[in-house]
Structure formats: structure tokens, C-alpha cells
Amino acid sequence: MRNNLKDLFGSEKPSVNKFIYKFNQLPSEKQVRVLKAVREAAFCDWNELPPYYRDFLLSLFSRYRTETLDSLHQDTILGEMTFQLKNPHLILRVIALLEGRKNGGSPCYLDVAFCFLLVFPFPCSVEYIGDCLRTKFVTIDDIDLLITVGDLQDGAGHIPFKSK
């Protein structure tokens, strides 16, 4: 599959812009094969790829995060291994609280959003979820809901809750 990418780039160092240009020049049936080769290179041949191909694939998949997720959910077993959340907006606010700004820095919210959507299907783009993570905050009502749903009692797998 890496050979298909080598055929596309020849001796040139791969880049996303070159890929898009060359890809758009191809007939549609060849585009399908090239996309399959890209996925196979990324998911099957990763350890054998030289660093510049890894950098290219990472840049390509990062630029097209939502499309990458759609492909993973529709064309691989990962689409069958997701979990439908009852309250995704609450979970997003909790993730934002736990993974948000720390020590003056902040995470790449698009990376966090991609990981969230990989596991929890939600009909929104990676960019939208990233914006939610960046701007939505846990409220007092959220904390009340977590306490109510959390059922802070002793039980199997739970650490006993002791108040002071």
C-alpha cells in the first residue's frame, strides 16, 4: 500500500498540499484506491513507514479529522465498538474541567475532541466538539446531577465514601 503512495509522489517528499493537488487530478475510481492505500499505510504499515511518510499521514489525518472519524466509523470495526452516551454535553463539560487549562497552558482541544468522538458517536464535527471543550464549563447543576447519579454508597468496586 505504501507503494501506491510512492507511485503518487514519485521521488518527491509527501505533503498534504501535494497530495490534495495530485489526488484531485485522478479519476474517481483511482481516488478510491488511493484513499484505501492511505488508510492501509496509516493503519497497517505504520511501523514500516519512514518518518516523513508518518509526518505526512499525521498531517493529512489531522487536517481532515471529521472525515477520518467518519471513515473509521463506517469502514472499520471501530464503528461497532462505540458507546452511545445518555448525556454527552455533561461528559464534555467534565472532560473540559479535567483536561482543560492547567499551569497556564491548554490541551489541543481538537485532539481531545477527536478521541471523544472516536469512542462516543455524536452527530457533530470535531471542530464543534473542540469548541464545546474550550468554552463550556461545569455548572452547579452539573455537580448536583453527578452527585445524584453517582450514588455515593459502599459497594462492590467502590471506595467507601467518608465525610469529615
Residue 41 grid coordinates: 499505510
| pLDDT number for residue 93 | 87
Can you tell me which residue has the cell 489531522?
Answer: 62
Of 85, 83, 84, 113, the residue nearest 100 (C-alpha): 113
- Is 70 exceeded by the pLDDT of residue 163? no
Q: What is the chain's mean pLDDT, rounded?
A: 85
Phi/psi at 105 (5° precision): -115, 175
The CA-atom distances, in angstroms, between 153 and each of 6, 13, 46, 159 are 59, 59, 46, 9
Instruction: Decide if pLDDT at 159 tops 80.
Output: no
Q: What is the pLDDT of residue 151?
A: 60
Q: Grade residue 160 by pLDDT with cuts at 50, 70 and 90.
A: low
